[in-house]
Amino acid sequence: MSRIDETRPFIPVSIAVMTVSDTRTLDTDTSGAALADRITAAGHRLVARVIVRDDAGLIEAQLRHWIADPAIDAVITTGGTGITGRDVTPEAFERVLDKTIEGFGDLFRMLSYQKIGTSTIQSRAIGGVAGGTYLFALPGSTGAARDGWDDILRFQLDSRHRPCNLVELMPRLQEHLAPAKTAG
């Protein structure tokens, strides 16, 4: 059960949105628009929004660019998570992730099952961390983008969510890079 603790401060997160598609434009990209609208309505900062073709190298390059940008806390992609030959978003993610958040894909599919039944097995939604940036890949349908945000990400990217949330972990995502302390 998700719970927002109104006594805690809200911390806006800077989020970039990538739509993976060979056919969509900004005018026809309803999934990316749904995410952008929800991100800003929740009080977060939409810092970038692009459309990238279904090409693992191009997706990887855009992810690496955003991961290297200290102004971006999280990236949400929509599209390319299916099982056809052109669906390569998870493969691009695997090239950049430091750690996978297995529970994200599992929870997305569980929630999706309640709406679309066994068709959810065709989704390879994935989440993880790379270079201190959260990455989440959602399917390309507008419904899936809405569900991923409304049912999971809006809570986990809200600093007031209890019992815990991803925002409170952000300062610790790169602690493995801190220099080791020496005795003496």
Shortest CA distance to 80 belongs to which of 116, 124, 36? 124
pLDDT tens for residues 122-181?
Answer: 999 999 999 999 999 999 999 999 999 999 999 999 999 999 999 999 999 988 776 655
User: Which residue segments constitute the domains of the chain, with CATH numbers given?
Assistant: 11-169 (3.40.980.10)
Q: How confident is the model at residue 31 (pLDDT cuts 50, 70, 90)?
A: very high
Give the residue among 160, 147, 159 at the shortest CA–CA distance from 74: 159
* Per-residue pLDDT reduced to its tens digit, 13-22: 999 999 999 9
Residue 184 pLDDT > 90: no
Residue 182: is its pLDDT beyond 90? Answer: no
Q: Model confidence over 2-13: pLDDT tens digits?
A: 699 999 999 999
pLDDT score, position 19: 98
Query: Whole-model pTM?
Result: 0.94
Averaged pLDDT for residues 105-111: 97
pLDDT band at 42 (very low <50, low <70, confident <90, very high): very high
Q: What residues have CB less than 8 Å from 79, skipping those under 6 apart?
A: 19, 20, 21, 24, 31, 54, 89, 139, 140
The whole-number pLDDT of residue 37 equals: 98
Placement of tokens 């493969």 in the chain: 91
